[in-house]
Structure 1
Amino acid sequence: MPDQIPMVQLLTPAGELVEDPAFPLHTTPDEVRGLYRDMVLVRRFDGEAAALQRQGELGLWTQSLGQEAAQIGSGRALRAGDHAFPTFREHGVAWCRGVDPVDLMGMFRGVSHGGWDPAEKNFHLYTIVIGAQTLHATGYAMGIARDGADDAVIAYFGDGASSQGDVAEAFTFASVCDAPVVFFCQNNQWAISEPAERQSRAPLHRRADGWGFPGLRVDGNDVLACLAVTRWALDRARRGAGPVLIEAFTYRMGAHSTSDDPGRYRSAAEREEWARRDPIDRVRCLLLRQGWADQEFLDAVEGESEALARDVRRRVRELPDPEPDLMFRHVYAGPHALVAEERAGYAEYAAGFGPDLAEGVPA
């Protein structure tokens, strides 16, 4: 069975600490409380975004429900100078890099093409093209190595993307160039409606064998293990030892997106089984068992998450619509005859609807 394959685990589903000599983690109660807070807040604004989509405020939303440990653990392993290349579901990593949740939602509301400056956050824009970001990450990592910088890159992708040619090409370049990049695969069991076992006869982390770099599986619902393993991989990359493939074995408890109905291809019993491995519950159990937190702390985090949800809801609904002319800007680095022609044609078309629509589209 896929979930019986050995994997790195430092915190059991019951919230009990275990040791792995290969990946020691020296943490503090403050750090664990911070990881718990991160996961609770991310889950709450993620859920609020899904509700906003159902109410017509967003065109689409892709939940990260159930994958908080993989994202927060790996995200908190990054140093300030490291760069992250996400897919379209890395809301927890975005949170760790200081991206405003409302900026994430702007793209799904259709009012921006991204919403944040990748150079400022060291968190690149969401990538809808499946697997393409692994090539971007590898190229960036190759550049870092040539510049002699003491930084690393992490590329996020899912089990479905592991079947893409772009990912294979990224592995090739990263391997032969010893690029300082960590490939972080969140194996959430389902590539939309296709189960992972129909995509590969071998565990996904074993794919690294063919390219000559390490691959390992970590319990993706264990935030401590994800933190320890990602720190190890990033440190290894910084030393010039080349790439690592991490398979975070987790589960997508929600739908692939708000346009998906997972009830058509997987059972309720399967989801209930994984709900018993909830990444937030196990950290809560640890905090209470070790005496590192009390109910007052848990209630305070819950209250903070509700305040965040209210703030996000208000600000998302207040996002201004972009000027129509924006679609013609930044298409190319400089002027382009075809874009100029299309811009003029749209301005003429918009003028026929009166000044409100035509505003912001110069002739």
Structure 2
Amino acid sequence: MQTRRGGCDTLLRLEALMQAKSILSVVALATLIAGSPFAAGCKTTAEASVTEESVQAVPVAIEDPLTEEHDGGSVGWDFAPDGTVKAIVKAPDGKPIDKDVSGTLTWKGPNGDAQAPLALDAKTGLLVATGPKLEADLTEVKYNIIVSGKPWNGTLHVPSGGTKVIVEGARKAEKRPIPPGKTGPNGGVIQVVGDDTIEVVADKASGQVRVYVLDADLKPVPVGDRKIKLGFVGQGSELVVLTPGPGGLYCVGKVAAKVNPVKLTVVVAHPTHADVVLVGYRPGVHVVVGPSAPAVNVVVATAWNVDVRVNRAPGVVVVHDDDDDDDGRPVHIHVHGKHKHKHKHKHHPHHHHDH
């Protein structure tokens, strides 16, 4: 019996020794693997899951966004020429909002409106959408973003090169700053656009809007072959295509809203390229929108409001002139027969004398 028990003990010790050697071999193998270059690509399922979740939680920044500030926060936009859109929504403290946020974009085009939803990308934390390609000099895009049930609405005028073109235009304008408070020769706002300096001014009575190209002394010079478009955002929004004025000293158009806009986008197109600016915008600065937005002072009182009407009497043209020398009274121009002889007189109200 003793010999039998002794044999069993010996067997047990041998088994324990073999198990210990196996454990040590496994530990040594694991240590070697962990120290090898292959270990970097080997993760457990739990480790891989944690890494993916941490990547998804980090928002992707937008390079050079055009940021608009609302009462409840801000939204930074990146419109690309191919129609893709990215937006990052942030709280007032600058932290990204990536929950309970959605929206809609509406592109205004020559053949009607096009809409696309703004959907939250869980991997980047950005709102993304795809719309029509940006082909026009300026495309009007309206947005409606819902943040925790509250709407953020706005309007953008986006150039064919996307929002980055506006940021680039602002960088160029910063190199030639206009003195604060300086107005143009007609009382309008001065803005650097590419290599040009322009004045934008509108008449508060008629809504006529003009753009003058200015020299280094801020004096008007001929507009030449430039083509100019304006995008107004205020009580409403509208695009205005200007045409050359008499003598080619300015470009002229008409705006429906005769009040100062809160945003004014300008395109000055040359035969080889086009320059775009958002008046007063500086890179990295938020564009304030909504009720607290400051106005762009372009609407002034001018002496441009000349209304020409043909009188029922043959050979008479009535010109209502706002120049100071006639105090706004109509001027009657009489044209006689086939000849170019004419004379004019101002119409004065009849005076009644007491007898």
Q: TM-score range by the shorter chain?
A: under 0.3
**Bigger relative contact order (CA 8 A; separation at least 6):** 1
TM-score (norm 2): 0.24
Structure with the largest fraction of helix: 1
Structure 1 or 2, whichever has the larger Rg, is: 2
